[in-house]
């Protein structure tokens, strides 16, 4: 059985590394993208912030069906709300603050809340805990993209630096 607090703690760790990647990336290169069709580094960071904040916000608001035509409109009501021209420090700060706020709100929910079923935006029926796991995995995927961008700029991600420091 997966425990809610374990998922929340793991998401907080992933989010800390997402924010650190943003802080490690050269500010002048935030609009770098590996290929023309991919998101920029800044877009990836904002997407992690907005998707994580919005999807968990919708869960907390009691939305139990995300597979609706107005899904994108619903998401816009729950995004973090940083201005489009937010700088690197503001985005990193928002990444850290958002996960702390959402994790605390989610941790306050009873175990039964996480066993309730809901419909994800792709139509899949999942428990609220499975949805939270999806949010975490979604960010992990985009954090990996950010790490690849760091590598393309000759920078070493924080996870690798920590592992190397232990040797």
pLDDT at 124 over 90: yes
Largest CA distance in the chain: 51
Dist. CA 88–CA 131, nearest whole Å: 29
As beta bridge partners, residue 65 has: 119
At 1, the pLDDT band (50, 70, 90 cuts) reads confident
Q: Give the residue numbers spanning the domain of 135.
A: 4-24+39-162
**Burial class, 37, CB count within 10 angstroms (exposed 0-12 / middle 13-18 / buried 19+):** exposed
Q: 143 in a domain, yes or no?
A: yes
Dist. CA 49–CA 92, nearest whole Å: 9
> Per-residue pLDDT tens for 146-159?
999 999 999 999 99
Domain count, the chain: 1
Check: CB of residue 107 under 8 Å from CB of residue 4: yes
Give the CB-side neighbour count of residue 136, counting CA atoms within 13 A. 20
Q: 34 in a domain, yes or no?
A: no
Dist. CA 162–CA 112, nearest whole Å: 37
Q: 30 in a domain, yes or no?
A: no
> Per-residue pLDDT tens for 72-92?
999 999 999 999 889 999 999
Q: 43 in a domain, yes or no?
A: yes
CATH number where 103 lies: 1.20.120.450
- The helix (H) or strand (E) run that includes residue 119 is strand 117-119
pLDDT (mean) for 40-58:
97
Dist. CA 90–CA 80, nearest whole Å: 12
Q: 126 in a domain, yes or no?
A: yes
Average pLDDT, the chain: 96
**Hunting for tokens 């428990």 — which residue is that?**
127
At 167, the pLDDT band (50, 70, 90 cuts) reads confident
Q: 33 in a domain, yes or no?
A: no
Q: What is the pLDDT of residue 79?
A: 96
Dist. CA 40–CA 62, nearest whole Å: 32
Q: 79 in a domain, yes or no?
A: yes
Q: 167 in a domain, yes or no?
A: no
pLDDT at 6 over 90: yes
């Amino acid at each position: 059985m997966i425990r809610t607090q374990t998922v929340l703690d793991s998401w907080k760790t992933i989010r800390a590394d997402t924010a650190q990647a943003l802080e490690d990336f050269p500010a002048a290169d935030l609009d770098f993208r590996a290929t023309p069709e991919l998101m920029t580094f800044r877009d990836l960071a904002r997407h992690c912030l907005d998707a994580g904040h919005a999807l968990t916000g919708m869960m907390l608001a009691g939305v139990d069906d995300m597979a609706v035509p107005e899904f994108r409109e619903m998401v816009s009501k729950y995004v973090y709300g940083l201005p489009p021209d937010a700088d690197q420090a503001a985005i990193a700060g928002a990444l850290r603050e958002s996960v702390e706020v959402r994790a605390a709100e989610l941790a306050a929910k009873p175990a039964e809340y996480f066993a309730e079923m809901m419909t994800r935006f792709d139509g899949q029926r999942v428990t609220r805990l499975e949805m939270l796991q999806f949010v975490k995995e979604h960010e992990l995927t985009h954090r990996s993209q950010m790490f690849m961008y760091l590598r393309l700029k000759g920078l070493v991600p924080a996870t690798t630096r920590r592992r190397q420091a232990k040797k």
